[in-house]
Structure 1
Amino acid sequence: MRTLVHIAADALPDHDGEGLDMLAASLADLIRDGHELAVTYAGPAEAAAPAGSRLVRALSDALPGRHVTALVTHTEVRAHDPALRPPADPADSGPRTALHPYAVLEASAVRDLLADGTVPVCAGGGGVPVIREPGTGRLRAVAGAADPARTAALLAAYLDADALLFLTSATHLFAPRSHGRPRPLLRVTPEELSAVRLPEGVSALADIAADYVTRTGGIAGVGPADNALGIVRETTGTLIHPAPVARPA
């Protein structure tokens, strides 16, 4: 099974230690289970290189004899992306809207690395955002950051990944209730997920995962960073799967 794992910012340790070792062990479990694995991760773009280095070192320790490599990737965005417009108020220094990714330029290299048995760690922080200049087609880096989760889904689709996993600090997606604790979602279709009013902080991630399943026919999961294999095996996390095809009566 070809699997792309995206590590959300809240699940990515910012230094070496037990948390990083636990994350690496979680990813290594997928490989030992027969998964062909590519890894992307979120976080500030300026911290992408150190985070990628930490992941590569931890994964190499967890997978002796397996090649693990960090790859700097460039994510093409459109010059007319609204997130590239200057703020209406020059004094507005708040967070900018993420750029919408259209292509990961090193996607074919990632595919080649997978075919060679290498574990690529790439698209850190959504990749370096670039646009193509009109007329010349030359690449130019732009300010801002591409949406890391959308970039992961875009790359997974190019790689024909069977599964797209989003590792977070939470065990599941949770549906709120009017009374009592939120209800954990276990196994849902994109249609069932769209009917659930999720908290604002995770609704965008759920939409990206559901859209991936609808477009590709693969599966997507959202679950704990310390048990990636458990998401696939449905012992933890939320698994999103295609709706069954209706058979004619």
Structure 2
Amino acid sequence: MEEDTVLVALGGNALKGGHDSQHFPELDKACQALAELAPCRLIITHGNGPQIGQLAMHEVNQKTTTLDELGAESEGLLGYKIEQELSNRLDTARVTTVLTRVEVDADDDSFNKPEKPIGPYLPQELARELRAKHNWQFARKNGKYRRIVPSPQPLEILQLEAIRVLLDAQHCVICAGGGGIPVIRNREGNIQGVEAVIDKDLTSALLARQINASYFYLITDVEGVFRHWDSPKQELLQKVRPEDLQKMDFPEGSMGPKVQAACDFVNQTGGTACIGSLENIQDVLSARSGTRITANAQELA
């Protein structure tokens, strides 16, 4: 496996902070397992959902920082934390974080119909106040309100060539945190940030395809993909073909994007994807836990 290119996507909820947004108790476990992959060409992406939500709430009084800037802030924070932990374990300076811009379509439907939730649930009065003050949009669930923002499809990773150069120089690369910083090209052809959050799993799948990864791991806070989830008949799928997964229904806000990302990767590259938990990350990375998605008949046997 040493010559393989491996992309590991760490879920934002799996790396949720401890008592505040600066402490990440699960990061040590993740980096211990990731260090064992260091002989491979290793790319690490990560979510930022809890962090960007917290940062956005800190801005409620001033509203001086835009959502793309908050994305860059959280990408830098988490990238630094992962880089520090991993480089200490590997005893090498060849662990590099790349602040990553990702181009999206300015006419993406999500800008007219935001659906991605960020931040905490809020009481109705506070949600009304923030809607009036900042023009934020909210979705209601169980009597409480949560901010929703656009989540456009990722089209192009602007730092792709830099990531390739670093991989060829035997660096472990941490990039595309939180799905990357969303940008568009304006009428003058210049790049500008937009108020949105790109789905981390979709950007990770795009990157995995473009760097021709052999393995794509999606690390989250559940054991894997289940048939009949949250019912008495629920069953963990250990090995499955992408076409079989695509016939099933999964929640849009959680497992759905991961399944889509994994299936897109396998269908377009012939590689292997795996979805599993941070708690069992070492077993997931060594094919002893999680759900393995592959079109390879030998792996399915």
TM-score for the superposition, normalised by structure 1: 0.88
Q: Partner of 1:175 in structure 2? A: 227
**Distance change in 2, residues 1:177/1:141 (3 Å):** closer
Confirm whether residue 184 of structure 1 aligns to residue 236 of structure 2: yes
Q: Is the 8 A contact 1:26 1:226 kept in 2?
A: no
Query: What's the offset of the Cα at 1:152?
Result: 0.7
Q: Is the 8 A contact 1:74 1:106 kept in 2?
A: yes
Q: Partner of 1:77 in structure 2? A: 104
Q: How do 1:121-200 residues align onto structure 2 when only pairs under 5 Å count?
A: 121-134=174-187, 136-176=188-228, 180=232, 182-200=234-252
SS in 1 for 2:83: helix
Query: What's the offset of the Cα at 1:92?
Result: 2.9
After superposing on structure 2, the runs of 4+ consecutive aligned residues of structure 1 that deviate more than 6 Å are none
Gaps of 5+ in 2: 53-70, 115-130, 139-146
Q: How do 1:52-131 residues align onto structure 2 when only pairs under 5 Å count?
A: 52-65=79-92, 67-85=94-112, 92-93=137-138, 94-131=147-184
Find 1:41's aligned residue among 33, 46, 61: 46
Query: What's the offset of the Cα at 1:211?
Result: 1.4
| Structure 1 CA distance for aligned equivalents of residues 33 and 281 of structure 2 | 6
| Structure 2 CA distance for aligned equivalents of residues 144 and 91 of structure 1 | 12
**Distance change in 2, residues 1:196/1:84 (3 Å):** closer
SS in 2 for 1:70: strand
Query: What's the offset of the Cα at 1:244?
Result: 4.1
Confirm whether residue 25 of structure 1 aligns to residue 39 of structure 2: no
Query: What's the offset of the Cα at 1:107?
Result: 0.7
| Structure 1 CA distance for aligned equivalents of residues 279 and 91 of structure 2 | 20
Gaps of 5+ in 1: none
**Distance change in 2, residues 1:52/1:178 (3 Å):** closer
| Structure 1 CA distance for aligned equivalents of residues 293 and 37 of structure 2 | 18
SS in 2 for 1:10: coil
Alignment coverage as a number of residue pairs? 241
TM-align CA RMSD: 2.3
Q: Partner of 1:209 in structure 2? A: 262
Q: Is the 8 A contact 2:225 2:291 kept in 1?
A: yes
Q: Which amino acid is 1:72 matched to?
A: L
